[in-house]
């Protein structure tokens, strides 16, 4: 019989006690890892959810930075009302401004203009919903649900006093097929 090249060492021989000690040590490590886990990553998951749930907010165009197509002579243009919303569905808000000349007395007519602001550019007028030449004043103005609604107050004749409009027309504008289409709001049809 041949002799082993290396003599048998005591630490290389496995006995049942060695296996039992190894199993106990492994069980202790597994049990300890169950108690010593890192904090859950819910904060990162919540940030990811919130980033995908809402797009980055874009500021609506500022009417103060726009030159309106309104000839007021020596008086300035006044923005009486403004409201913003995504009217064309592109994910960027538009601003609708109700403007008039700042007359000292009387009721100058309003213009209603839609403003947009492409990224990196100045805000600009892209549509006229009510032309001041039509001689309407605007009341009950709102931008909701991608639509612009307003009550247009006007005059049936030149004999009607300018402080007492006698024509009241409800109007609604929505973006359809590349343009703003005017209609009568549903609540006005039944009246």
How many domains does the structure of the chain reveal? Answer: 2
Report DSSP state, residue 149. E
Kindly tell me if the per-residue pLDDT of 11 is higher than 80. Answer: no
Residue 80 and residue 49 in one domain: no
Region 156-183: mean pLDDT is 92
The answer to whether residue 154 is domain-embedded is yes
Q: Which domain holds residue 69?
A: 63-189
The answer to whether residue 7 is domain-embedded is no
The answer to whether residue 8 is domain-embedded is no
Nearest-angstrom CA–CA distance, 55 and 92? 10
Kindly tell me if the per-residue pLDDT of 56 is higher than 80. Answer: no
73: alpha, beta or left? (left if phi > 0; alpha if psi -120 to 50)? left
Helix, strand, or coil here: 135?
A: coil
Read off the pLDDT band of 128 (50, 70, 90): very high
More confident site: 97 or 27: 97
Kindly tell me if the per-residue pLDDT of 109 is higher than 50. Answer: yes
Region 44-66: mean pLDDT is 65
100: alpha, beta or left? (left if phi > 0; alpha if psi -120 to 50)? beta
Kindly tell me if the per-residue pLDDT of 106 is higher than 50. Answer: yes
Residue 108 and residue 175 in one domain: yes
Q: Give the contacts of 100 (CB within 8 A, at least 6 positions apart).
A: 70, 77, 78, 80, 108, 109, 110, 111, 132
More confident site: 78 or 47: 78
Given this model, what pLDDT does residue 38 score?
A: 56
Kindly tell me if the per-residue pLDDT of 1 is higher than 60. Answer: no
Residue 91 and residue 148 in one domain: yes
Q: Could you tell me where the DSSP H helices lie in the chain? A: 16-35, 42-53, 186-189
Given this model, what pLDDT does residue 8 score?
A: 54
Given this model, what pLDDT does residue 62 score?
A: 96
Choose among 169, 167, 172: nearest CA to 185. 172
Given this model, what pLDDT does residue 143 score?
A: 96
Residue 81 and residue 173 in one domain: yes
Question: Which range among 18-27, 48-57, 105-114, 139-148 has the greatest average pLDDT?
Answer: 139-148
Read off the pLDDT band of 51 (50, 70, 90): very low
- The mean-pLDDT minimum among 2-6, 58-62, 95-99 falls in 2-6
């Amino acid at each position: 019989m041949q002799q082993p090249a290396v003599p048998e060492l005591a630490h290389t021989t496995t006995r049942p006690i060695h296996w039992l000690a190894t199993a106990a040590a492994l069980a202790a490590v597994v049990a300890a890892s169950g108690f010593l886990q890192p904090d859950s990553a819910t904060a990162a998951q919540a940030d990811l959810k919130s980033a995908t749930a809402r797009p980055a907010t874009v500021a609506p165009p500022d009417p103060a930075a726009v030159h309106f197509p309104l000839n007021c002579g020596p008086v300035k243009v006044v923005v009486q009302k403004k409201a913003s919303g995504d009217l064309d569905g592109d994910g960027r808000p538009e601003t609708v401004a109700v403007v008039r000349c700042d007359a000292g007395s009387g009721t100058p007519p309003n213009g209603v203009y839609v403003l947009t602001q492409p990224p990196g550019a100045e805000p600009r007028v892209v549509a006229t919903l009510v032309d001041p030449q039509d001689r309407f004043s605007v009341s009950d103005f709102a931008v909701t649900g991608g639509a612009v609604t307003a009550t247009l107050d006007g005059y049936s004749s030149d004999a009607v006093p300018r402080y007492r409009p006698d024509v009241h027309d409800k109007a609604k504008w929505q973006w359809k097929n590349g343009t703003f289409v005017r209609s009568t709001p549903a609540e006005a049809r039944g009246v």
